[in-house]
Amino acid sequence: MAPGLGPAIRVAGLSHAFGEGEARRKVLQDIALDIPRGQLVILMGASGSGKTTLLTLLGCLRAVQEGSVVVLGRELAGAAEAEMVAARRRLGFIFQAHNLHESLTALQNVQMGLAVHGPLPGAEVAAAHLLGLLGLGDRLHHLPAQLSGGQKQRVAVARALVGNPDIVFADEPTAALDRESGRAVVEMLRRLGHERGTTTLMVTHDNRILELADRILTLEDGRILQDETRAGGAGAKAPRRGWDVS
């Protein structure tokens, strides 16, 4: 689907439960949500309110049990695993556990983010460019063991972004970062929204970055308690471009 033709994410009547029989418990209840392209959305809520469950459902990482989830124009309810895999190719993921390959350098780890797309010309330049933007230009050839926790997290951020995803899903991406680096990461995601229409859905407890959000969703007991759109939202008007590696 071409950009601008529909929302990044459209959810209706989404419910989800864990457990069987007596132990079965609904953790998401009748969620409805529209996220336009280009928005930076922060998802908040107490522990156990269902944030990660929602993120993994929208990220095509978990099968939809009840309701409708349309991601980039593709209905995920009833989708076969192959369709879920195809949908995930257009998404980027940043998780708290950065899952870097210990035997690969920072640069090679970021290039892994492009491996799903097959060999691409300019991959190394694009990876190096992004690492430079994230302040790791002098760490390209370091192994993860030679990097601090915050630096590893920034490598994971670069890996998620290097494939130029349409939507980025992030779970506590700034937890391991100091104030300045955390802000730099979220500002980069926000800039991507403005310049390319990349949508970001981020779970965070980090109050320091709330002001950067276009929208803040608060979950309570599996329901959306509050949906606050902030002034000066990114919107979704910008054309989408590849990374400028020239």
Ligand X SMILES: Nc1ncnc2c1ncn2[C@@H]1O[C@H](COP(=O)(O)OP(=O)(O)OP(=O)(O)O)[C@@H](O)[C@H]1O
Q: Which residues of the chain form contacts with ligand X (CB under 6 A)?
A: 18-19, 27, 45, 47-53
Nearest distance, CB of residue 84 and ligand X, angstroms: 17
> Reduced to 3 states, what is the DSSP secondary structure of residue 71?
strand
Nearest distance, CB of residue 60 and ligand X, angstroms: 16
| Nearer of residues 136 and 170 to ligand X, judged by Cβ | 170
- DSSP code for 33: E
DSSP E strands in 150-198: the ranges are 167-171
Q: Please name which of 166, 198, 200, 196 lies closest in space to residue 186, comparing C-alpha atoms.
A: 200
| Nearer of residues 36 and 50 to ligand X, judged by Cβ | 50
| Nearer of residues 54 and 147 to ligand X, judged by Cβ | 54
Nearest distance, CB of residue 104 and ligand X, angstroms: 28
Q: Please name which of 45, 75, 68 lies closest in space to residue 223, comparing C-alpha atoms.
A: 45
| Nearer of residues 13 and 19 to ligand X, judged by Cβ | 19
Nearest distance, CB of residue 218 and ligand X, angstroms: 11
* Cα dihedral value 5, 92, 116, 130, nearest 10: 110
- DSSP code for 89: T
- DSSP code for 230: P
Nearest distance, CB of residue 176 and ligand X, angstroms: 15
| Nearer of residues 134 and 156 to ligand X, judged by Cβ | 156
Backbone angles phi, psi at 130, to 5 degrees: -65, -45
